[in-house]
Amino acid sequence: MKNCKYLFAFVVSLFCLNNLVAHPMPNSLVLLNIYDEKVKIELQLPVQEFELACGKNLQNINQQYIKDNQSDLVNYILLHTKIYSNQNDYWALSVSNIRYDSLQSELNGVYKELIFEITCLPRTKANLRQFTLQYDAIIHQVVTHFAIIKVNQDFNNGIVPSEPAEIGTIQLDIESNTVKPFSINLDEGSRWHGFTKMISLGMHHIKVGIDHLMFLLVILLIAPIIVSDGQWSGFGGIKYASVRVIKIVTAFTIGHSLTLLLISLFPIPNFSQSIEIAIAITILISAIHAIIPIFPDKETVITFIFGLIHGSAFASTLFNLNIGISLKLLTVLGFNLGIELMQIIFILSFLPIIFLSKFSIYKYVRIIGAILAIIASLAWILERLLNHENVISSFLNHLVQ
């Protein structure tokens, strides 16, 4: 997930129908990552404004420039970033990484930023969630600049990088002409709290995952019916239907749980676009199968394989989680539990339709449902290939709002 301010500027500029630079001045982002023994801050500073503040020409900034000027850059950041628990307990800050990033946008041109990672350790035993941030990088000179502060990650409070919590802004206090210290007070939270948050994250994720739900719907459409002469036929009986539903759901669950775990622990870069297209294809294939049986009696295996694909997409929510293995496992466990819970709710509410299969009207329900799913999946394939919404995909994406 790219930084939110870029996304904001991009979305905002979508309102301007011609090629325009977005109006709002680029601001800095201060992302707080709260761990058990330290806080890690990620600063994202627009080069355009950073240039004005440090008085250097950064037109040709690149990774080499950073290497050559590392100590200057580190000194600048440490001069303008301080943390204390009380006036006598200033934390030990060290810059652990500096990198340069540029985002190409047809609307914005090139947006360049400098990213600093700062490790912050309290000197004495301090509450890691209650401290004061004395920060005025860029703002000390460019007094119209401001920084948005977000909690990017805090397991004990259930905050993950895909949904950071904005907690405020640092800017010039015009009346006093100073930049005031920014006090942070987060809830203590707890492991249990974090775990339950992961569960609700998982539940929410699949609740709004209209493509995942559509896949389940379509594949279950044919669960209660039998094949006869190469065509879908009538209700196969309560036992038959129940067994098939259970097998399919279990196969999907095992499949997506496996890849959710694996990919969360070992993320694959630049993966998400391919996975999103693959998911749309799983819907397409299942929808065709619902009209004409293309893999009769193999639904369990196919669903397992498709489940692997869906699970990889779930994992993208948990990317960028820079935490230890045990905590990551707890996250994945909670998230998966949430997905399963919502999945059960969804299937239970969907069951009445399946039992409609006893009646002859079901044939039309099945075929119409499958056709709608084919249209939806094609729209999504197109959208995800071109990286651009179309009328149908836009309608579908807005259904969950």
Partner 1 sequence: MNKIRKTLGLVLLLILVQQKLAACPGTNGSVAKIVCLADSLKATLTTDQIATLELPYSYANSQVWSNLPVTMQARIGIKLGTLSASQLAIAKLIVKEISGTTPNEGYDEAEQLLLADAYLSANGGGTAYGNGQYYLCFNGTPSLLGLFSVKFGGHHLQVENTYNNGVMVGGTPHFEAIEPLTFTSGTNTYSTITQEKNALAAMFTTLSTAELASAKLSATFTDILMGAKNSGTSKDWTFPATKQGLKVGTLTSVQKNLVLDAIKTYVMDIDDDNAAAIIKQYTQELDETYISFSGNSTLETKNDYARIDGPGVWIEFTVQGGIVISGVHYHSIWRDHTRDYGGAGSTAGVQKTAVGSNNSTGIKEINTVKNLKCYPNPSVEHLNVQFSLNHSSSVRVTLFDILGKAVLNKEYQEMEMGDQTMLIDLSNLEGGSYQLVVETDKNKYTTKIIKQ
Q: 217, 192 in Cβ contact below 8 A?
A: no
CA distance 330 to 191: 9
- Applying CB under 8 A, the span of 8-16, 220-228, 236-244, 382-390 interacting with partner 1 comes to 8-16
User: 376 CB contacts (<8 Å, ≥6 apart)?
Assistant: 211, 214, 283, 392, 396
Which CB sits closer to partner 1, 25 or 79?
25
- Applying CB under 8 A, the span of 104-112, 180-188, 250-258, 318-326 interacting with partner 1 comes to 180-188
**CB-side exposure of 51: number of CA atoms within 13 Å?**
11
CB of 184 to partner 1, least distance (A): 6
Which CB sits closer to partner 1, 71 or 144?
144
Token pair, residue 34, equals 């709260």
Contact residue for partner 1 among 91, 135, 182, 306 (CB under 8 A) = 182
- Applying CB under 8 A, the span of 20-28, 71-79, 303-311, 371-379 interacting with partner 1 comes to 20-28
Which CB sits closer to partner 1, 147 or 225?
147
CB of 401 to partner 1, least distance (A): 14
**Widest Cα–Cα separation across the chain:** 84
User: Which one-letter amino acid corresponds to residue 116?
Assistant: F
Based on the number of CB atoms within 10 Å of its own CB, is 31 exposed (0-12), middle (13-18) or buried (19 or more)?
buried
- Applying CB under 8 A, the span of 64-72, 183-191, 220-228, 327-335 interacting with partner 1 comes to 183-191
Which CB sits closer to partner 1, 197 or 212?
197
Closest Cα partner for 274 from 384, 389, 373, 383?
A: 384
Q: 81, 137 in Cβ contact below 8 A?
A: yes
Contact residue for partner 1 among 29, 41, 43, 53 (CB under 8 A) = 53
**CB-side exposure of 19: number of CA atoms within 13 Å?**
5
Per-residue binder mask for partner 1 (CB under 8 A), 74-113, x = binder: ----------------------------------------
| Of residues 118-147, those binding partner 1 (CB under 8 A) | 132, 141-146
Which CB sits closer to partner 1, 13 or 316?
13
CB of 19 to partner 1, least distance (A): 7
Q: Which helix (H) or strand (E) holds 104?
A: strand 92-105
Closest Cα partner for 341 from 239, 200, 224?
A: 200
Which CB sits closer to partner 1, 169 or 322?
169
- Applying CB under 8 A, the span of 185-193, 211-219, 286-294, 390-398 interacting with partner 1 comes to 185-193
Contact residue for partner 1 among 180, 191, 298, 388 (CB under 8 A) = 180
Q: 111, 29 in Cβ contact below 8 A?
A: no
CA distance 226 to 241: 9
CB of 143 to partner 1, least distance (A): 4
Contact residue for partner 1 among 104, 106, 125, 174 (CB under 8 A) = 174
CB of 142 to partner 1, least distance (A): 5
CA distance 203 to 339: 5
- Cα(first)–Cα(last) distance of the chain, in Å? 20
Residue count at the site for partner 1 (CB under 8 A)?
49
β-pairing, 92-105 with 109-121? Answer: antiparallel
User: 324 CB contacts (<8 Å, ≥6 apart)?
Assistant: none
CA distance 179 to 132: 13
> H-type helices in 292-324, by residue range?
299-315
Q: What is the crossing angle of helices 391-399 and 210-221, to 10°?
A: 90
Q: Determine if 187 is a binding residue for partner 1 (CB under 8 A).
A: yes
CB of 109 to partner 1, least distance (A): 11
| Of residues 149-168, those binding partner 1 (CB under 8 A) | 149, 151, 157, 165-168
Contact residue for partner 1 among 183, 233, 274, 394 (CB under 8 A) = 183
CB of 27 to partner 1, least distance (A): 9
Dihedrals phi, psi of 21, to nearest 5 degrees:
-85, 135
Contact residue for partner 1 among 69, 119, 200, 300 (CB under 8 A) = 200
Residues that bind partner 1 (CB under 8 A): 12, 15-21, 23-25, 49, 52-53, 132, 141-146, 149, 151, 157, 165-177, 180-187, 189, 193, 197, 200
